[in-house]
Amino acid sequence: MRNLVKSFGTLPTLIALLVLVVGCSASVGAETLTHSASAPYQPETRTFTITAVPLLVHEQQATMDYLKTDFAKGGILDGKEVYGFSPSSITVYAGDTVNLTLVNPEDDAHTFTVPDLNINVVMKGQSSTKTSFVVSKPGIYQFVCAEAEHAPYMWGQIVVLPAPSAQ
Ligand SMILES: [Cu+2]
pLDDT in tens, 60-114: 999 999 999 999 999 999 999 999 999 999 999 999 999 999 999 999 999 999 9
Average confidence score pLDDT of the chain: 85
What's residue 9's pLDDT?
A: 53
- For the cut 90, the answer to whether the pLDDT of residue 46 exceeds it is yes
Tell me the per-residue pLDDT of 127-150, one tens digit each, with 9 for 90 and over.
Answer: 999 999 999 999 999 999 999 999
Amino acid at 138: P
Cα–Cα distance, 162 to 93 (Å, whole number): 6
Distances from the Cα of 94 to the Cαs of 100, 139, 141, in angstroms? 16, 9, 12
- What mean pLDDT is predicted for residues 153-161? 98
Strands 82-86 and 110-114 come out as unpaired
Q: What are phi and psi of 53, to 5 degrees?
A: -120, 140
CA of 44 to the centre of ligand 1 (A): 29
Nearest Cα neighbor of 145 from 50, 56, 75, 45 is 50
The closest of 143, 163, 162 to 89, measured between CA atoms, is 143
Strand stretches in 87-126, DSSP E: 89-93, 97-104, 110-114, 119-123
pTM (two decimals) = 0.75
Rounded distance from Cα 113 to ligand 1 centre (Å): 10
Asked if residues 120 and 92 have their Cβ atoms less than 8 Å apart, the reply is no
Tell me, in angstroms, the distance from the centre of ligand 1 to residue 56's CA: 12
| Statement: residue 118 has pLDDT above 90 | yes
Calpha distance 20→73 (Å, rounded)? 84
Cα 135 to ligand 1 centroid, rounded to whole Å? 23
**Local confidence band at 167 (pLDDT 50, 70, 90 cut-offs):** low
User: How far away, in angstroms, is 154 Cα from ligand 1 center?
Assistant: 6
Distances (CA, A) of 150 to 34, 78, 108, 146, 167: 52, 11, 10, 7, 45
Residue pair 126/104 in contact by the 8 Å Cβ criterion: yes
Choose among 90, 87, 80, 81: nearest CA to 51: 87
